[in-house]
Structure 1
Amino acid sequence: MIWTWTILLFLTIIFGFFAFVGYKMVTPPRRVGKWTPKDLGFDYEKVEFKSRDGITLRGWWIDQGKDETVIVLHGYTASKWNEVYMKPAIEIVANLGYNVLTFDFRAHGESEGSKTTIGDKEILDLSGAIDWLLSNTNTKKIALIGFSMGAMVTIRALAEDERVCCGIADSPPIYIDKTGARGLKYFANLPEFLYPIIKPFTKMFSGAKEVNIIDYADKVRKPLLIIAGGNDPLVKVEEVEEFYKRNKTINPRIEVWITDAAHVRTIVKYKEEWKRKVGEFLRANL
């Protein structure tokens, strides 16, 4: 009998640990910083709007008096305050003269919501942002720049939202399970082979549906620039190239730029080239 109870206790502890990890994976820490677009030399307005499913989202609006707006989208566990890629991206786009909108996805930064769905319901967040833009500003053309999870949302929007004219996807996860397993090691320092055990808990806590961006390779027909890094521990270049080759058969306006950078780090390692390529892309398509 004592062995039975010992085994039950052991299993309870093990599955409790897996449940805890799954819960933590969908409840990222809220990154809140102190800098604002004012520190970059741009006047801005704090804005608040609703996601399509009613969650309050909070962001920044830089109005440059244009009818062209670029929405900059952060990645998983980050926020609009991210200094690695969001800050330089906002600065570059604003210096190009475009209006800029950025905001915190649900369960990130200062937006409401308790769980991230890593690309599923975040599309509703973006839809709410676009609703706000078209109702409250002079915006007529909208481009997206997304990083990691934000890149997933960018690609989805190009296929699903007619209001978006073009997009740049930097380090987009193509297969959610492959990136999820790598992310377990990257974010939690746990072995990748545990992912199939932890995954059901993440789905249970978040209520999310799986989003595999490879499925959109047959749907996107708008200008798209994908940026990928050869030293990315989360997204393999081969996966990005697979998406590119499939989408190229129906979308002549897709481009891919491969560097030797790490995840969402091309803008850090090759800032001037990132600025040039992104500028050229936006001028040509926005």
Structure 2
Amino acid sequence: MFGNMVSNMMVKPSQSPLFDSPTDYGLNYENVEFKARDGVTLRGWLIKGGTDRVIVQSHFGVQCNRGGWSPKGRGPIAPWKEDIKFLRQAKYLAEQGYSVLMYDLRGHGESDLGTIPWVSWGPEEAKDVVAAVDFVSARPEFANASVGLLSICMGAASTTYAYGLADGLASRDKVKALVNVQPLLYSYFVKALGMPGFMERAGAKVSRDRLGFNMAEPNFINDAPKISVPTLVLQNQNDPWTNLDMVQSYYDALTVEKDLRMLDLEASRFAGYDYLGRSPEAFVGWFDQYL
């Protein structure tokens, strides 16, 4: 019982319905779909700004989707009390002349389940990041565009793993810059939650049976040196669900031009996600510099 409960919390797909729409922001957009290399169909919005710079935004995991995160249905102890609307930063980006691809990772929002029908925290979702870059790169209006990656939490892990894939992001020369928001290894997240050991072990066994691997073993930090574009890392220094030494290790492993910005926000991991829409100018300058 405990094993299924814990594993469901960590890897069960489709836990968050889409709750927001670009029409509410007056944005010009197109509903799009495309396939990852393993045939999984992904769906999203292409927010139309300019044609010479496009951002691919990859969201955080499990209880999120391309539109963001909502406390609705999360009970009285939801980790954040307000909707986190990723369309806020998309609107700002469009106003600055960027187009934005916001898509659902496999098993999230309106995208299909993956060939492994569970959330893997990055190793499987890495295929989706590559597919998203390939999709915008192939669009005729973006023939001469530069691509920037805005990758949030599991999106940051997935993007980093995508640089380690054979024929992955390292070979996509249209990508010019990366902003990684609060990268987090699964093992550190579980430790930070303070879950009793017997529950953690029970959940790990169920997840291992479902995914076919131990979630504590893949380590995207090993792929960080393969990232080939200037990278900005954003991290709430008051985030109670992470280990700041892990974030520093990730940053230290990067071998490109880079910057690490520790944000002094509310003591919640979700404050870092909410920050993106409240202060988008804080990271858009990184894209302005390189795209």
Kindly indicate whether the alpha-carbon contact (under 8 Å) linking 2:37 and 2:131 is maintained by their aligned counterparts in 1: yes
Kindly indicate whether the alpha-carbon contact (under 8 Å) linking 1:181 and 1:192 is maintained by their aligned counterparts in 2: no
Pairwise CA distance, 1:264 = 4.4
Which of structures 1 and 2 has the larger relative contact order (alpha carbons within 8 angstroms, sep 6+)? 2
Pairwise CA distance, 1:195 = 2.3
Residue 155 (structure 2) aligns with: 150
- Against the structure 1 CA distance between its residues 246 and 49, is the aligned structure 2 distance closer, same or farther, given a 3 Å change threshold? closer
1:132 is the counterpart of 2:135: yes
Q: 2:57 aligns with which of 59, 63, 72?
A: 72
Residue 115 (structure 1) aligns with: 118
Amino acid at match of 1:150: G
Amino acid at match of 2:241: L
Amino acid at match of 2:240: P
Pairwise CA distance, 1:267 = 5.5
What's the % identity of the aligned pairs?
A: 26
Q: Indicate the structure (1 or 2) with the bigger Cα radius of gyration.
A: 1
- Against the structure 1 CA distance between its residues 143 and 156, is the aligned structure 2 distance closer, same or farther, given a 3 Å change threshold? farther
Amino acid at match of 2:130: S
Amino acid at match of 1:182: A
Pairwise CA distance, 1:33 = 3.3
Structure-2 separation of matches of 1:123 and 1:285: 23
Kindly indicate whether the alpha-carbon contact (under 8 Å) linking 1:229 and 1:237 is maintained by their aligned counterparts in 2: no
Pairwise CA distance, 1:101 = 0.3
Question: In structure 2, the residue corresponding to 1:42 is in which secondary structure?
Answer: coil
Matches for 1:1-286 after TM superposition, within 5 Å: 16-76=1-61, 77-82=63-68, 83-84=83-84, 86-113=86-113, 114-139=117-142, 140-158=145-163, 160-161=168-169, 162-163=171-172, 164-173=175-184, 175-182=185-192, 190-191=195-196, 194-207=199-212, 210-247=217-254, 250-251=255-256, 253-261=257-265, 262-266=268-272, 268-269=274-275, 274-286=279-291
Structure-1 separation of matches of 2:120 and 2:273: 26
- Against the structure 1 CA distance between its residues 94 and 207, is the aligned structure 2 distance closer, same or farther, given a 3 Å change threshold? farther
Cα deviations across residues 121-160 of structure 1 (Å, max 9, x unaligned)? 1011122222222223422321110111011123334564
Higher helix share: 1
- Against the structure 1 CA distance between its residues 204 and 133, is the aligned structure 2 distance closer, same or farther, given a 3 Å change threshold? same
> Which runs of 5 or more structure 2 residues have no equivalent in the other structure?
69-82
Cα deviations across residues 6-64 of structure 1 (Å, max 9, x unaligned)? xxxxxxxxxx4314432442114432234311222211111111121111111001122
- Against the structure 1 CA distance between its residues 245 and 21, is the aligned structure 2 distance closer, same or farther, given a 3 Å change threshold? closer
How many residue pairs get matched?
261
Q: TM-score, normalised by structure 1?
A: 0.81
Pairwise CA distance, 1:74 = 0.8
Structure-1 separation of matches of 2:39 and 2:277: 37
Structure-1 separation of matches of 2:287 and 2:275: 21
